[in-house]
């Protein structure tokens, strides 16, 4: 049978997955490595390239897990999406604490960021296809204040100018890598008002950055969806991809998964409860996949883990519990979503 990866390549589309370093190293779980290597043509480090993983102690980098993934990709002739250079989460404690207690000044912080980006991008120069340079810089309507704004550690400490800086530093360190802005809830436009429509806010931001000559090559829509939330159709998603494309950037789906509420009946294995969720998950995947196939600029479709055995969802959403987010069950059996995106690739 054809793999997702091989079918995607027929359309010039790379199908990838996030890879967990723990799972990759689990000697009792060879199936994980086998599927990660065979089914996908692109991989993303789920955590191994985040700053807290790379520089747990100030001044000493630990490249082991990140190198391992890059070598895994090389062995399996896969491309690597680098994730992530600048994010407000999973920062090393020495950094956040140093800023909080004033021992790291704003000026020093900016210099630390420049050094970090330069160090990481140079180490993997020529080995990374797409870098998520800046991740999740924009607030959500449920944040305070509700008017959309630049949020988080970097905006608070350096102001929004860090975004342009980060892209420039990344470009200087590896002129060939495609440099992406990556975010969630930007799969479709809403009101069109940047005060409450995050897609519009990001669109305006990218437009401004491009006009200023900032080297941003792509916009990644993460694609963390849920079966019980408001969903999109293919028209809405293609419209968003096309609008971003009109700014001169590539697009990609970078972290797709579709989570469901794990009611007691679901946990007890009640198929009347489970099957609608599997159907809705497949439908959501299919919307994104079809949109990606319909818009030339959409370079890759990456799932955020491929098995429910290794998914961030249950650890993150526990009240009420959510799960069933990936395209294979805990025993690596393909779910409906897997078959659905496969048929989208075959029929496209």
Residues that bind ligand G3I (CB under 6 A): 46-47, 89-90, 135, 222, 255, 312
Torsion of CA 228, 7, 79, 22, to 10 degrees: 50
Output the smallest distance, CB 272 to ligand G3I, in A: 30
Q: What share of the chain is helix, strand, coil (3-state, %, to 5)?
A: 45, 20, 40
d(CA 157, CA 170): 20
Sign, CA dihedral 78-345-180-88, equals: negative
31 is a catalytic site residue: no
As measured in angstroms, the least distance from the Cβ of 321 to ligand G3I is 16
Which position's Cβ is nearest ligand G3I? 312
Chain center to CA of 8: 18
By beta-carbon proximity to ligand G3I, the closer residue of 142 and 176 is 142
CB of 24 to ligand G3I, least distance (A): 12
Q: Is 238 helix (H, G, I), strand (E, B) or coil?
A: helix
Backbone angles phi, psi at 312, to 5 degrees: -70, -15
CB closer to ligand G3I, 7 vs 95: 95
Choice between 304 and 345, CB closer to ligand G3I: 304
From the candidates 39, 46, 55, 136, give the one annotated as an active-site residue.
136
Which of 129, 344 has the CB closer to ligand G3I? 129
Active site includes 322? no
Report the SS3 class of residue 292: helix
Look at residues 310, 220, 230 and name the one whose alpha carbon lies nearest to residue 256.
220
**Closest approach of Cβ 315 to ligand G3I, in Å?**
7
Toward ligand G3I, which CB reaches closer, 8 or 92?
A: 92
- Residues 262, 263, 265, 267, CA torsion sign: positive
Q: Residue ranges of the alpha helices (H) in 141-270?
A: 152-158, 161-173, 198-211, 234-245, 264-267
Q: How far apart are CA 57 and CA 60, in angstroms?
A: 6
Of the pair 222, 281, the CB lying nearest ligand G3I is at 222
Question: Per the residue annotation, which of 187, 255, 322, 340 is the catalytic one?
Answer: 255
DSSP string computed for 293-342: HH-TTEEEEEES-SBTTS-SHHHH-BTTBEE--SSB-TT--B-HHHHHHH
Q: Which active-site residues does the annotation give?
A: 136, 255
């Amino acid at each position: 049978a054809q793999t997702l990866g091989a079918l995607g390549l027929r359309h010039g589309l790379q199908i990838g997955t996030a890879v967990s370093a723990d799972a990759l190293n689990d000697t009792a779980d060879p199936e994980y490595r086998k599927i990660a290597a065979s089914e996908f043509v692109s991989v993303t480090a789920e955590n191994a390239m985040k700053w807290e993983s790379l520089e747990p102690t100030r001044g000493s980098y630990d490249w082991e897990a990140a190198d391992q993934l890059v070598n895994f990709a090389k062995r399996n002739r896969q491309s690597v999406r680098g994730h992530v250079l600048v994010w407000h989460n999973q920062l090393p404690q020495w950094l956040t604490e140093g800023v909080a207690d004033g021992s790291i000044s704003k000026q020093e912080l900016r210099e630390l960021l420049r050094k970090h980006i330069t160090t990481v991008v140079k180490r993997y120069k020529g080995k990374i296809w797409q870098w998520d340079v800046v991740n999740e810089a924009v607030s959500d309507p449920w944040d305070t204040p509700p008017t959309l704004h630049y949020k988080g550690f970097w905006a608070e400490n350096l102001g929004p100018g860090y975004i342009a800086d980060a892209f420039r530093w990344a470009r200087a360190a590896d002129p060939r890598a495609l440099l992406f802005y990556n975010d969630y809830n930007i799969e479709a436009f809403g009101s069109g008002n940047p005060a409450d429509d995050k897609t519009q806010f990001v669109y305006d931001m990218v437009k401004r950055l491009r006009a200023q000559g900032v080297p941003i090559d792509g916009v990644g829509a993460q694609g963390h969806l849920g079966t019980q939330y408001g969903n999109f159709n293919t028209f809405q998603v293609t419209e968003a991809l096309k609008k971003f494309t009109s700014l001169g950037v590539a697009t990609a789906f970078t972290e797709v998964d579709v989570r469901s509420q794990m009611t007691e009946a679901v946990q007890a294995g009640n198929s009347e409860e489970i099957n609608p969720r599997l159907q809705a998950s497949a439908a959501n995947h299919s919307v994104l996949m079809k949109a990606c196939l319909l818009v030339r600029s959409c370079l890759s479709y990456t799932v955020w883990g491929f098995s429910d055995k290794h998914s961030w969802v249950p650890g993150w959403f526990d009240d009420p519990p959510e799960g069933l987010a990936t395209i294979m069950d805990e025993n690596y059996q393909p779910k409906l979503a897997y078959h659905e995106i496969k048929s989208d690739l075959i029929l496209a």
